Amino acid sequence: MTSAADVVAALVAARVRVATAESLTGGLLCATLVDVPGASAVVRGGVVAYATELKTALLGVPDEALARTGPVDGFVAEEMARGACARLGADLGVATTGVAGPGPADGFAAGTVFLGVAAPWLSGGARHVRLALTGDRARIRRETVAAALAAVAATVADRPERVEEQDGAPGS
């Protein structure tokens, strides 16, 4: 499991600023990141767009996409992540949308989650992953945060401009 401290350290080392766009996690992802001392160097902020219409108003998700698929969708997650980058001035955006439960919503079972990640070095500028989580509402939200942290770490690790340090010494 990727810890928030590891993610913040990777962001600092890569000089990448991050922003969150959250629905089902309700700010838990951003709060988890800012629990880490030194997070202010890389965390720009977060937008909690719990209500569907706020995904458009605050993050720029196209109305027609939400009308077509609803908020539980991979493209919507990607657009939320892009919106977080644009509106908060970040290099990398990460978004969570889905159904925490206890029951189904929008035609999806509890535990159906989409994570979106946006960054200029990704092919097409963004990607998403669908998760099928189990457990109660609190567990689904916690596991979504854990998966989002792992996605951020992987995206930072994939950054081609990343400066590699050899023998632990910068510039050697």
- Residue pLDDT tens, the chain, 172 long: 899 999 999 999 999 999 999 999 999 999 999 999 999 999 999 999 999 999 999 999 999 999 999 999 999 999 999 999 999 999 999 999 999 999 999 899 999 999 999 999 999 999 999 999 999 999 999 999 999 999 999 999 999 864 444 444 333 3
148, 154, 157, 159: CA torsion to nearest 10:
-80
Closest CA to 117 of 144, 71, 156, 152: 152
Residues 29-74 have pLDDT tens digits of: 999 999 999 999 999 999 999 999 999 999 999 999 999 999 999 9
Q: Is 98 left (phi over 0), alpha (psi -120 to 50) or beta?
A: left
Pick from 75, 72, 45: nearest CA to 60: 75
Rounded CA-CA distance 71/27 in Å is: 17
Could you tell me the domains of the chain? 4-157 (3.90.950.20)
Amino acid 161: pLDDT = 64
Closest CA to 33 of 123, 119, 96: 96
- Both structure tokens of 133: 């989580």
Taking the whole predicted model, whether its pTM rises above 0.85 is answered as: yes
Q: Which two tokens stand for residue 164?
A: 């590699």
The size of the chain, in residues, is 172
